Structure formats: structure tokens, C-alpha cells
């Protein structure tokens, strides 16, 4: 089995016409199931004047109303412990995870036994896709406390890899694990992968020579899909970096890179993807950038029908060079992270891409958003390399010009700090945005 390219070749290479036929069958079943068993869906469908039998083709999903995080919060705990979106009795639920609550009250994500088993089979598929095999030793360096990515380690175990349940160990302890047990694959966040590599070097450990990491899986932040960030981590570790994407609302990793690294294949046997205009909700064509809307096709504990994810991106359904036929999503940023300067939509990911690829600076950054003269402005703080002969003024001008060229609007200021002066390095998600209009984001 270890010589096979695909975890499930029939599923992963299914012709799109056949894949969409399967999606339609599952869509009809889950909509009917939700209508019959989840109080919220029966009420909202009735109010919208639509019934399950009105769904004849995939595009008919547009007849149904959207839901979002607010819907989850408003219905959670209403009528029962699991709330009005839940479509099964509590005794059928064997696992729940919760969201971080960083943008409001944490929301629960329940799973039946079948939901959970299919979730882990999908994780095995992603691990196999990036090249994990039974001979690998794998460190799962993700939070196990209520986090939906924690159980993903079971997908690696089901594949046959030797798994080390690292969790959120302190960096020194994790480096001891990496040096002592010589694992070949690790999963963490992009910012922590960078931080851990730097910490290793400061402790006299060369990640390329002293450790055996050959592949790094990253998730939880956009860095893994930003070429400059991904390549910087690869250079630091001498390893291949692959980005995963997941939602606590659905399951751990819902999408993953393949060897082509041209977007992330999404599990279309589990998720129907739409893209909509972030302001009007108008349906966009594949390839057009907007807010991603997901419908779960097989999750029965809590179906999500037309869930507005808040993630901005687009889906590519054209053939991939890897041979997989499931569409690839490209994520640009979070809707609630985006800010507008001089009528231009600015995403932190664009700023990160610039800062990571320029020479003479460490790649660390902090964004400050503020208002001046009733207009939104932004400033960027960076760190210079210790051996950079340029003046702070020269570095500031270089970064400002590069940001203007990529984004279209230059920052009001670029502030230069010495190496280590920003204090943005973190063992988990890094604090990158300070919104002085009243909000702080972790990305």
C-alpha cells in the first residue's frame, strides 16, 4: 500500500461529473435530514418558502438561507444542550470540539461516531497526500484542549505512522523530542514553525543537520499558503512545507496541499463550496474571489447548510497536475481581518508576503490600523537583520515602496526595530494586528 500515490484513488480522481452526481445525492439526503431533525432548519426553510423536495440540482442550494457564526451562537443551548442546529440526540454524539471564541462566544462542533470516523479517514487522506507513510515518525504539535485539530493525529495513526502526541509542549521540551526521537514529520502553525526553527539555532541545534524533519504541515494561519513565508520556513528547516485548512465548525483539516502546491484540495465529497460577494451575498463564478460558503454533505450531528465561513478566497475546479479532481481553494484572508484604505481592500496576508520576501529584514511584522482625519490608515513595524548595512530610513523606504507596489496603497509609516525588538515571536499564534479603532487580531 505504501507505494500507492493516493489514499483512495477512486474517490480522489473521480471525474467531476460523477463527483457532482454524488454531491447531489448527499445534498438531498442531508437537507431532508436537517429539515426533519434540526428545529432551526425546519423553521428557516419554512420561512424561506422552500422544502427539501425543491432541491433538484446543486445550484438549487441557492434557494436556501445562509447561516453564520451568529446563527450558531444564537441557537446553541436552545431547546437542548447541543441546540437547535443539532440533528441527532445527545446520546448519538461521541465527541465535541469548540471554536477558540476569539471573535465571540465559543461554539461547539458535535460528531456522531460515523461523522468522527469519516473525519479521521479524511485526515489520513491528507497525510497520505503530503507523503506520510507507515515508516514515518510524526509529531502532532497541536493543542489537544477542545481544539478540533487535536484528534487529527488519529488519522496519522490509522495510516500506520508512528505518532508522538506532542501537543503544546514548551519549545525546549519539543526540541528535545525532535532531537531524541528524530521524527520525520511535524504539524504546527506557520509562526510557530518559524519560531521553533529560530529557537533551535539559538540553542545550538541546526534544524537541517541535527534533526530529521523532512515535512512540516502548517495550519491555523495563512502563512503556509503565502509563497514567501512557506519558502522561508522551508529554507530554515531544509524541509517541505504543506498547508492545511480546517474549520472547527466542520472538522480538523478540510483541505490540504498536494505536491503541486497550487491551492488546497478540499474534500468535496464532504463539502459543497460556493463563493459569494462579501457585501451582497451574490453568487460568484468559480475562480472569482469572495467569501467561501460551505455546506456539509455528510455530517449528521450538526449539518451546516450554506455556512458563511468569513474566509475570503476562491475555488479552482480545473485539473491539477497531481491527478486529483477535487477542487482547490485559495485563501486570501479573513473578512473580519480585511481593512479598507483609500477604497482598496487590504489583507494582512499581502503585507506578510512582502515582508517575508524582502532581504535585510527578519520577516517579523506588526500591523497597526488607525483613523486619521476620518480616514483609515495603516502602519507597519518590522525588524532589521543585525548584519544589514542599510540605514533605518533606507529600509523603511524600501518596504514602503514594496507594499505600495503589491497592495496599491502605501503605509503611513514603516517603523524599523532591531532584531527581536517586536516581540511577535510566539509558541502558538502570533499577535500581528493591532486595530487602534478598537479590535485586536491574532493571526
pLDDT tens digit sequence for 62-115: 999 999 988 998 999 999 999 999 999 999 999 999 876 554 578 899 999 999
Cell 456522531 belongs to 112
Contact residues for 293 (Cβ-Cβ < 8 A; gap 6+): 66, 273, 274, 275, 276, 306, 307, 308, 309
Asked if residue 437 has pLDDT above 80, the reply is no
pTM of the complete model: 0.83
- Could you count the other beta carbons within 10 Å of the beta carbon of residue 371? 10
What are the φ and ψ backbone dihedral angles of 138, each rounded to 5 degrees?
Answer: -125, 130
> CATH assignment of 339-442, given 3.30.300.30, 3.90.440.10, 3.40.190.10, 3.30.70.100?
3.30.300.30
* Nearest-angstrom CA–CA distance, 216 and 203: 20
Beta-bridge mates of residue 146 = none
Asked if residue 442 has pLDDT above 60, the reply is no
Q: What is the pLDDT of residues 2-49, one digit of tens each?
A: 589 999 999 999 999 999 999 999 999 999 999 999 999 999 999 999
Q: What is the pLDDT of residues 100-150, one digit of tens each?
A: 655 457 889 999 999 999 999 999 999 999 999 999 999 999 988 888 999
- For residue 374, the model assigns a pLDDT of 65
> CATH assignment of 1-332, given 3.30.413.10, 3.40.50.12780, 3.40.50.970, 1.10.10.10?
3.40.50.12780
The answer to whether 228 touches 357, Cβ cutoff 8 Å, is: yes
Confidence of residue 443 (pLDDT cuts 50, 70, 90): very low
Asked if residue 1 has pLDDT above 50, the reply is no
- For residue 107, the model assigns a pLDDT of 87
Asked if residue 343 has pLDDT above 80, the reply is no
DSSP 222: G
Q: So where are the chain's domains?
A: 1-332, 339-442
Q: What is the pLDDT of residues 403-414, one digit of tens each?
A: 998 888 889 999
Mean pLDDT of the chain: 91
Question: What percent of the chain has pLDDT above 90?
Answer: 73
Confidence of residue 441 (pLDDT cuts 50, 70, 90): very low
Provide Rg for the chain, Cα atoms. Answer: 22
Amino acid at each position: 500500500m505504501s507505494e500507492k500515490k493516493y489514499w483512495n484513488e477512486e474517490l480522489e480522481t473521480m471525474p467531476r461529473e460523477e463527483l457532482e452526481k454524488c454531491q447531489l445525492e448527499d445534498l438531498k439526503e442531508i437537507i431532508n435530514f436537517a429539515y426533519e431533525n434540526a428545529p432551526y432548519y425546519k423553521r428557516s426553510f419554512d420561512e424561506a418558502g422552500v422544502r427539501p423536495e425543491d432541491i433538484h440540482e446543486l445550484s438549487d442550494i441557492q434557494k436556501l438561507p445562509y447561516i453564520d457564526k451568529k446563527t450558531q451562537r444564537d441557537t446553541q443551548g436552545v431547546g437542548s444542550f447541543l441546540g437547535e442546529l443539532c440533528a441527532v440526540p445527545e446520546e448519538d454524539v461521541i465527541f465535541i470540539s469548540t471554536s477558540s471564541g476569539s471573535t465571540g462566544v465559543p461554539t461547539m462542533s458535535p460528531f456522531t461516531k460515523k461523522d468522527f470516523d469519516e473525519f479521521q479517514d479524511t485526515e489520513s487522506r491528507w497525510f497520505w497526500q503530503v507523503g506520510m507513510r507507515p515508516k514515518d515518525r510524526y509529531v502532532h504539535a497541536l493543542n489537544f484542549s477542545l481544539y478540533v485539530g487535536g484528534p487529527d493525529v488519529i488519522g496519522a495513526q490509522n495510516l500506520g505512522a508512528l505518532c508522538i502526541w506532542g501537543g503544546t509542549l514548551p519549545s525546549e521540551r519539543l526540541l528535545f523530542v525532535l532531537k531524541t526521537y528524530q521524527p520525520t514529520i511535524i504539524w504546527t502553525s506557520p509562526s510557530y514553525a518559524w519560531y521553533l526553527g529560530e529557537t533551535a539555532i539559538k540553542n545550538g541545534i541546526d534544524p537541517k543537520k541535527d534533526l530529521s524533519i523532512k515535512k512540516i504541515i502548517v495550519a491555523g494561519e495563512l502563512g503556509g499558503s503565502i509563497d514567501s513565508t512557506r519558502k522561508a520556513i522551508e529554507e530554515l528547516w531544509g524541509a517541505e512545507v504543506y498547508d492545511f485548512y480546517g474549520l472547527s465548525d466542520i472538522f480538523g483539516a478540510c483541505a490540504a496541499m498536494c505536491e503541486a502546491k497550487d491551492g488546497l484540495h478540499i474534500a468535496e465529497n464532504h463539502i459543497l463550496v460556493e463563493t459569494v460577494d462579501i457585501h451582497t451575498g451574490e453568487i460568484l463564478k468559480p475562480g472569482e474571489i469572495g467569501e467561501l460558503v460551505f455546506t456539509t454533505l455528510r455530517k449528521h450531528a450538526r449539518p451546516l447548510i450554506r455556512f458563511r465561513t468569513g474566509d475570503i478566497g476562491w475555488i479552482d475546479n480545473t485539473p491539477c497536475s497531481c491527478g486529483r479532481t477535487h477542487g482547490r481553494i485559495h485563501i486570501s484572508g479573513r473578512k473580519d481581518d480585511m481593512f479598507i484604505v483609500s477604497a482598496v481592500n487590504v489583507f494582512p496576508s499581502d503585507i506578510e508576503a512582502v515582508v517575508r520576501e524582502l532581504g535585510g529584514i527578519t520577516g517579523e511584522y506588526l500591523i497597526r490600523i488607525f483613523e486619521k482625519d476620518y480616514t483609515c490608515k495603516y502602519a507597519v513595524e518590522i525588524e532589521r537583520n543585525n548584519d544589514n548595512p542599510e540605514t533605518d530610513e533606507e529600509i523603511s523606504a524600501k518596504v514602503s515602496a514594496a507594499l505600495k507596489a503589491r497592495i496599491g496603497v502605501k503605509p503611513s509609516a514603516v517603523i524599523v526595530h532591531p532584531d527581536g525588538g517586536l516581540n511577535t515571536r510566539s509558541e502558538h499564534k502570533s499577535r500581528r494586528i493591532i486595530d487602534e479603532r478598537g479590535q485586536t487580531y491574532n493571526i
